[in-house]
Amino acid sequence: MLKAIADQPPEIFWPLWLFNWSHIDYCADLHWDVYDVLKRKGSAQPYLDDDSMARFLALPKMVTVYRGCDREYVDGVAWTTSKKVAGYFATGGRYGRPIDPVIATGKIGKCSPDFFFPNGDRNEQEIVCYPKVIHVEEYTGPFVGDHELISERSAP
């Protein structure tokens, strides 16, 4: 999909991207391509629906975000404001357990050119951005299958 719409102007790109982002379940191998295209398109803010705009406005000026993943994929664009959700992804979440699971912590200003949009479609408190990584810690568990972790992630 990225290749099909990457050359479209923002007013065409962003509505298509925002509508389809929740259906893109794994893009770690393409994280630099995704970042480059999003960076060229600028903020999605003018194209956010009312719910996404409300989430954006509710964020503090400086946002702390977390990313649970394999250590080699810390530089991705899919982050969350919930450390528990990051823990779910550090366990492998829907993808299978990483070889070297970590939780990265980052900071980003919500008006930064590297802050693209908040996404609430999957109950992951997701922020699509490229923050400054300030800390990376090894994740030692609990891992998928732990009832408490899964029930906490599922809670609104």
For 54-102, write each residue's pLDDT tens digit: 999 999 999 999 999 999 989 989 999 999 999 988 987 777 778 899 9
Domain that holds residue 140: 2-154
Of residues 110 and 5, more confidently modeled? 110
Cα(26)–Cα(24) distance, integer angstroms: 6
How many domains does the chain contain in total?
1
Can the peptide bond before residue 142 be classed as cis, meaning omega within 30 degrees of 0? Answer: yes
Residue with tokens 């959700």: 85
Whether the Cβ atoms of residue 104 and residue 67 lie closer than 8 Å to each other: yes
Q: Which residues of 3-29 are buried (b: 16+ CB within 10 A; e: fewer)?
A: eebbeeeeeebbeebbeebeeeeeebe
pTM reported for the whole predicted model = 0.83
Percent of the chain exceeding pLDDT 70 equals 83
In this prediction, residues 111-116 reach a mean pLDDT of 93
